[in-house]
């Protein structure tokens, strides 16, 4: 286990009950996150990618305990996040923030920008009344907004500027860790570049650690030190972006990468077609969750659940056909790799 992992997640599970009938009897569970483990080294970024419904957003919220996990471990700076209550939890929250996808719905329309960005400072008693304006002005400037934005309301700003306000809110209380949940997905290309650069600058200057959740593979590659791919509540592959994008091993990752439209009409890249649709997470297929759509599935894939296995140095894959080992029932999660052994700050 990596010593400088700021966040360690082990066997994280979140099952949502599906209730039916007058008495609200639980008839099934949506297995949104079904046993995932990862580390995020201090000052680095783990990119979590996957398509709608794969569980990436739920995973991010479980880490912050915005949603209570069903089981598993979340350790932040060595502290067991799931054991915290009341004041302890509140002080931990000071250190963990989130940036949301939609800058239109995540800002309170009735609050001024000063109120939005300064709320955390007041809540955590980080600034006296007289200092607050000054602190907020400083943060706004840091994210590329002028101080006169302070007395205005969110609707007066463009999408990109609103996302800057959302970022200012998150960094105002000087957290160590931020979950970025699709922070640029709602933005135009030219604005996206500005926000991605801003997030990377802030990381460098403030020594931030990010869990960067997104479906855009190119954006994730740009920002991440390591990338993990999710499918149906499970991690199927994890590696450095250089390795993952050049040598994807898992059949799902390969199909996913091949589906990304390249901004170049001359690319003659062959697309790997995926038959069918993503199965329901209420009743995921037994064995490997990807097997019904996998062209390489064998009989064993239908029965045995592959675990994330280090098949090459620093390259982890959950596939029995590419060197993966099957999970034994009730087996604890494998130890996580020491993700940050080398320099290369990202």
Partner 1 sequence: MSEEAKAAVAGEATNAPEAAEALLEVRELATHFRTDDGVVPAVDGISFSVARGETLALLGESGCGKSVTALSILRLLDYPPASHPTGAVLFEGRDLLKASERELRRVRGNRIAMIFQEPMTSLNPVYTVGEQIVEAVTLHQRVSRTEAIERAIEGLRRVQIPEPEKRLANYPHQMSGGMQQRVMIAMALACDPDLLMADEPTTALDVTVQAEILDLLAALQRERGLAMLFITHDLGVAARVATRVAVMYAGRIVESAAAREIYARPLHPYTLGLFRSLPRMGRRPGRLYQIPGQVPSPLEFPAGCRFHPRCAWADGRCRVEAPRLVEHRARHAAACWRTGPEGLPPIEEDEA
The site for partner 1 (CB under 8 A) is made up of: 51-52, 158-161, 188-194, 196-197, 200, 215-219, 221-222, 241-242, 245-246, 255-257, 259-267, 271, 273-274, 277
CB of 90 or CB of 204, closer to partner 1: 204
- Least distance CB 20 / partner 1 (angstroms): 17
CB of 56 or CB of 75, closer to partner 1: 56
With residues binned 3-state (H G I as helix, E B as strand, rest as coil), the percentages for the chain, rounded to 5, are: 35, 25, 40
Locus of tokens 């869990």: 211
Q: First CA to last CA across the chain, in angstroms?
A: 20
Under a CB-based contact definition with an 8 Å cutoff, are residues 134 and 128 in contact?
no
> What angle do helix axes 159-172 and 189-206 make, rounded to 10 degrees?
10
- Least distance CB 225 / partner 1 (angstroms): 11
- Least distance CB 278 / partner 1 (angstroms): 8
CB of 128 or CB of 247, closer to partner 1: 247
CB of 71 or CB of 158, closer to partner 1: 158
Six-digit token string for 174: 């000087």
- Least distance CB 281 / partner 1 (angstroms): 13
- Least distance CB 216 / partner 1 (angstroms): 8
- Least distance CB 127 / partner 1 (angstroms): 30
- Least distance CB 309 / partner 1 (angstroms): 24
- Least distance CB 242 / partner 1 (angstroms): 8
* Helices (H), ranges, the chain: 56-64, 86-93, 113-123, 129-142, 159-172, 189-206, 217-223, 241-246, 251-259, 299-303
Longest dimension (CA), the chain: 69
Cα distance between residue 31 and residue 24, in whole Å? 18
DSSP letter assigned to residue 103: T
Contacts of 179 (CB under 8 A, 6+ apart): 60, 61, 63, 64, 96, 97, 98, 99, 210, 211, 213
Six-digit token string for 280: 């329901």
CB of 209 or CB of 240, closer to partner 1: 240
* Helices (H), ranges, 214-344: 217-223, 241-246, 251-259, 299-303
CB of 187 or CB of 319, closer to partner 1: 187
CB of 163 or CB of 309, closer to partner 1: 163
CB of 104 or CB of 325, closer to partner 1: 104
Under a CB-based contact definition with an 8 Å cutoff, are residues 123 and 115 in contact?
no
Six-digit token string for 73: 């471990």
């Amino acid at each position: 286990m990596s010593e400088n992992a700021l966040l360690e997640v082990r066997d994280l599970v979140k099952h949502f009950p599906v209730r039916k009938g007058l008495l609200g009897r639980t008839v099934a569970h949506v297995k949104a996150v079904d046993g995932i483990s990862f580390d995020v080294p201090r000052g680095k970024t783990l990119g979590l990618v996957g398509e709608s419904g794969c569980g990436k957003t739920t995973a991010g919220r479980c880490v912050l305990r915005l949603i209570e996990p069903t089981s598993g471990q979340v350790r932040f700076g060595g502290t067991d996040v799931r054991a915290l209550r009341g004041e302890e939890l509140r002080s931990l929250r000071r250190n963990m923030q989130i940036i949301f996808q939609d800058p239109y719905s995540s800002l309170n329309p009735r609050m001024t920008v000063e109120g939005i960005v300064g709320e955390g400072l007041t809540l955590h008693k980080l600034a006296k009344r007289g200092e607050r304006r000054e602190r907020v002005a400083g943060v706004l400037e840091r994210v590329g907004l002028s101080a006169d934005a302070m007395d205005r309301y969110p609707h007066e700003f463009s999408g990109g500027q609103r996302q800057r306000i959302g970022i200012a809110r998150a960094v105002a209380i000087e957290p160590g860790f931020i979950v970025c949940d699709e922070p640029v997905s709602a933005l135009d290309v030219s604005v996206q570049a500005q926000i991605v650069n801003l997030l990377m600058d802030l990381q460098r200057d403030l020594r931030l650690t990010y869990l960067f959740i997104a479906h855009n593979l190119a954006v994730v590659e740009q920002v991440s030190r390591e990338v993990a791919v999710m499918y149906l509540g499970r991690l199927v592959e994890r590696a450095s972006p250089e390795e993952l994008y050049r040598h994807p091993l898992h059949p799902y990752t390969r199909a996913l990468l091949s589906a990304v439209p390249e901004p170049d009409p001359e690319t003659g890249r062959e697309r790997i077609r995926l038959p069918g649709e993503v199965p329901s997470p209420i009743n995921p297929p037994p064995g490997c969750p990807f097997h019904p759509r996998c062209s390489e599935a064998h009989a064993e894939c239908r029965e045995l659940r592959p675990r994330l296995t280090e098949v090459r140095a620093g390259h982890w894959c959950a596939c029995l056909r590419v060197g993966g080992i099957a999970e034994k029932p009730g087996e604890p999660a494998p130890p996580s790799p020491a993700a940050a052994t080398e320099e290369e700050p990202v």
